[in-house]
Amino acid sequence: MNKVCVKHLAQKFMWEIVCGDAESLDRPITLPDTNRPGLELAGYFSDSQTKRLVILGEKEMGYIDEVMDEISQRRSFEFLTSENTPCIIVAHGYDCPKVLKEIAQRKNFPIFKSPQKTTAVVVSVTNYLDECLAESVILHGELVRVHGVGVLITGKSGMGKSEIALELIKRGHQLVADDRVDCYAMHNMLIGKTAPLLEGFMELRGVGIINVGRMFGVGSYARRTEIELQIDLEPYDSNHDYDRVGIEEKEYAEILGVKIMRIRIPVSSGRPMSTIIESAVTNFLLLKEGLDSAKEFEERVLTQIAMNKEETE
């Protein structure tokens, strides 16, 4: 999990700093959730999650100005500016309440002001933190977009994964990550990308590092993609019983708690692997639409067997 602090948010969204020095901006953020403190302003503090960012919107500011007296404000703001709370954002261009500002200055607590509407602040902050704080893992392989599908190609070193990815790029598909794939679990989806330093580059044995964007155009690589299919490349073994029809139970890989379909493809000299992977992806897209070629073939065979049986009888 990446480390995120209040300073990152302030720089990302260019908020106006109301209170807090450089030290206060180093407060860590551990949850991607936000809190609009309706109950806390009303004086109910039990079961409140103090590690969330606090956002004061139009309703909260109206309640503070029209309903709360100074004593109730002090009680609520003392609670909202606890050591666990990362910061408070005052949205909609409102000025920070005087009592809150006084308490924040005494505690060196960070408060920001945003001209955006409350909903826009909540959505932008939540989406940003979801990505920054998402559970992640680094995998070895190639990540490409084939027909718009994120395909993770894995296998032992020396299997030719980079060469296969290069052939797919030449056929009009996109590279996302070469050799190192950073995977993040977000909203029940598996998102893959690579480190910014490696973006758009590939390593080929005997050639070295190549710039995919310059060689094949800016459309030849993508910065990130949802991973929907994993293809494991295996050395061909004549004694192994490979899937030839496809009516067997589908196999799935689980990465960070997210299940994606996995296909094992044997590699041998002379096999056009890029064409095979394109066909596998096309078949995967048909499966998503409810069209299973293997089951369709099985039904045709069973129908023919039944017809032959009737003719025999």
**HSE-CB for 200 with a 13 A CA cutoff:** 12
Q: Which of 17, 52, 20 is nearest to 37 (CA)?
A: 52
Strand partners, 225: 192
Cα angle for residues 18, 24, 25 (degrees, 5° grid): 80
- For residue 2, CA distances in Å to 14, 29, 34, 123, 183 come to 21, 10, 18, 20, 13
Q: How far, in Å, CA of 88 to CA of 121, rounded?
A: 12
Q: Determine which one of 52, 173, 179, 224 is catalytic.
A: 179
Q: Determine which one of 69, 187, 241, 244 is catalytic.
A: 244
Strand partners, 146: 149
Q: Determine which one of 92, 113, 161, 173 is catalytic.
A: 161
User: Which residue has 């050639």 as its token pair?
Assistant: 207
Catalytic-residue membership of 179: yes
Helix axis angle for 118-132 and 6-13, nearest 10°, is 130
Q: Determine which one of 59, 98, 140, 170 is catalytic.
A: 140
Is the CB of residue 233 less than 8 Å from the CB of residue 190?
no
Catalytic-residue membership of 140: yes
Q: How far, in Å, CA of 13 to CA of 114, rounded?
A: 9
- What is the set of active-site residues? 140, 161, 179, 244
